[in-house]
Amino acid sequence: MKIGILSTSKTLYSTRRMVEASTNRGHEVRVINHKRCYMNIATHRPGVHYNGEELEGFDAIIPRIGASVTFYGTAVVRQFEMMGVYSVNESVAITRSRDKLRALQLLSRKGVGLPVTGFASSPGDTDDLLALVGGAPVVIKLLEGTQGVGVVLAETQKAAESVIEAFRGLKANFLVQEFIKEAGGADIRCFVIGERVVAAMKRQAREGEFRSNLHRGGSAELIKLTPEERSTAVRAARIMGLNVAGVDLLRSNHGPIVMEVNSSPGLEGIEIATKKDVAELIIEFIEKNAKRGKTQTRGQG
């Protein structure tokens, strides 16, 4: 097979590992910087160009689209889809998962466990908004934030009101969520491929921090999931329409709750913590499922 990896750098751990896995399994692989692609929007012959050449003959692509370039990156993925190239995660599914509000609404509609969440842009009654989620402490998140940026824990009513006032002044859209104290600053990253969780790790926030992101100094270790946690992670990925996803869960007093579904989950933390060759499992999935013209919008919404 000829596989294209849409990534801004060959040296990134996840990109490098998928290149290795593809090569080890006998495939031709090429890393393509999606930010430097340009497209021919033609009626009968859509095409993608890169560094002066037309990209042809690909059987599958693996999108590794950063949050800051979601719009353009998914446009490139969509163009490959129009050319009949199989994408391990489709453009609609990536866009769906990147919109935090839309993702929560879709998960809520299907009955997936979620933290109590309020959404606002310029609330006329901040007290009522905070009351909706049970009052302080609350977690306040910018809709556009990633990797823990734009996420604030407000431990008191006054602190929450101040943060909301600041976000309102920026004309920013934000979520207000209940703080799951019993999680103890830890979350679970479930790596889903197809219809199963292939690896899982517990991420623990460093002392004095409530965000467990590894980029923010959190630590990771192997964890055993409960059957309910496994089924919740798989359901969440399926609802988003993602074949490959990182589903972040919290253990609460009322069962597992989904915090986020990531369409471009990193491989470094999960492979080191679990000692599993996740990159090879992704390539195996592509081998079994990639067929020309198979691309279709999965899920609803």
224-247 tens-digit pLDDT? 999 999 999 999 999 999 999 999
Which domains does the chain show, CATH number per domain? 2-96 (3.40.50.20), 117-179 (3.30.1490.20), 182-287 (3.30.470.20)
Give CA 221 to chain center in angstroms: 20
What is this structure's pTM? 0.88
pLDDT of residue 212: 53
pLDDT of residue 182: 85
25 C-beta neighbours (distance < 10 Å), count: 15
Mean pLDDT on 184-211: 85
Residue 298 has pLDDT above 50, yes or no: no
- 46: CB partners within 8 A, 6+ apart: 39, 40, 79, 82, 83
pLDDT confidence band for 300 (50 / 70 / 90): very low
Residue 166 has pLDDT above 90, yes or no: no
pLDDT of residue 299: 37
The H-or-E segment that residue 24 falls in is: helix 13-24
